[in-house]
Amino acid sequence: MKTNSIFYALILGVILASASFAQTDSSSSTISVSGSGEVKSKPDIATISIGVLTKGKNANEAVSSNSISTQKLLDTLRSSGVAEKDIQTSSINVYPTYKFNDNESTITGYQANNQITATIRKVSDVGRIIDSVSLTGNYTISGISFSIDDTDPLEADALGQAVLDARRKADIVAKAANVSITGVKAINVDAYGGIPFVKSSPFADAGSAPTTQVLPGDVSVTSSVSIQYLISK
C-alpha cells in the first residue's frame, strides 16, 4: 500500500511538472517581425576615378610618357584644392598592343594605364575640378560616387525608425491574433548604407562650355531589425 502511494505521488509530480512546463512554454510564446527605416541626406564627399592612358613603341616609352601625364594630373588636382591624402593610385597596368594578320599576332607597341582616385570633400567643386582635369590632358573620368563623411547620426535615426516600424507590425499581428505584447525577447540589427543614383551631364571642353554639371542626388542610409516580442493571451 505504501509502495502504491509512493508510485501515485511520483505520477502526480510528473503531471504537475508537465503542467508547470507547459505554462512556462506558453508564457514565452513569441511573434517575430521585421522593421525597416530609411533616412536621406545630401552627400558631402565625392570620389572620382581618373584614367591616364599613354602609348609607346616599347614598354619603357609608354611608362615614361605615362609618368609625365600623371604628374600633370596630380599637380592639377593639388592646385584645385584636393588634399594629398585624398589622392590615391588604384591601379597601374602596362600591356602590349597587337596587330592580327592571318591568325598571327604581332606586337605593335605598348600602352600604360594609371588609374587615380581623388576624393573631393566639397561636392560643389566636383564640376570645376573635372573641367580643370579635362583642360590639363586627355584623361578619362569615370566612376563618380557620393557619400557622407559622418553617417552615425543618420544611422541612429534610421535604426529608430526600423524599431518603430517593427512595433507597428507587431501590434497589428497581436490585435489580429487576440493576444497582448508583454515584452521583447530578442532583437537583431542589420544596418547598411545605400548608394545614390548619380546623374551627370556629358563632360565637355571647359573652354567653350559652362562648368560640367554634376547632380549628386541624395544618399540613403537604411537600417533593418528583426524583433521577437513576448505575447500572452
Cα angle 149, 222, 35 (rounded to 5 degrees) comes to 155
Give start-end residues of each CATH 3.30.110.170 domain in the chain. Answer: 28-42+150-233
Per-residue confidence (pLDDT) for residue 15, from 0 to 100: 31
3-state secondary structure the chain: CHHHHHHHHHHHHHHHHHHHHHHHHHHCCEEEEEEEEEEEECCCEEEEEEEEEEEECCHHHHHHHHHHHHHHHHHHHHHCCCCHHHEEEEEEEEEEEEEEECCEEEEEEEEEEEEEEEEECCHHHHHHHHHHHHHHCCCEEEEEEEECCCCHHHHHHHHHHHHHHHHHHHHHHHHHCCCEEEEEEEEEEEEEECCCCCEECCCCCCCCCCCCCEECCCEEEEEEEEEEEEEEC
**Cα separation, 13 vs 73, whole angstroms:** 85
pLDDT tens digits, one per residue of 131-182: 999 999 989 998 889 999 988 999 999 999 999 999 999 999 999 999 999 9
Q: Which portions of the chain are predicted below pLDDT 70? A: 1-27, 191-210
Per-residue confidence (pLDDT) for residue 209, from 0 to 100: 53
Give start-end residues of each CATH 3.30.70.2970 domain in the chain. Answer: 45-147
Per-residue confidence (pLDDT) for residue 195, from 0 to 100: 45
The cell for 112 is 600604360
Mark 4-31 as b/e (b = at least 16 C-beta within 10 Å): eeeeeeeeeeeeeeeeeeeeeeeeeebb
CATH of domain 28-42+150-233: 3.30.110.170
pTM passes above 0.85: no
Per-residue confidence (pLDDT) for residue 214, from 0 to 100: 83
Which superfamily, per CATH, for 45-147?
Protein of unknown function (DUF541), domain 2 (3.30.70.2970)
Per-residue confidence (pLDDT) for residue 215, from 0 to 100: 83
Per-residue confidence (pLDDT) for residue 176, from 0 to 100: 94
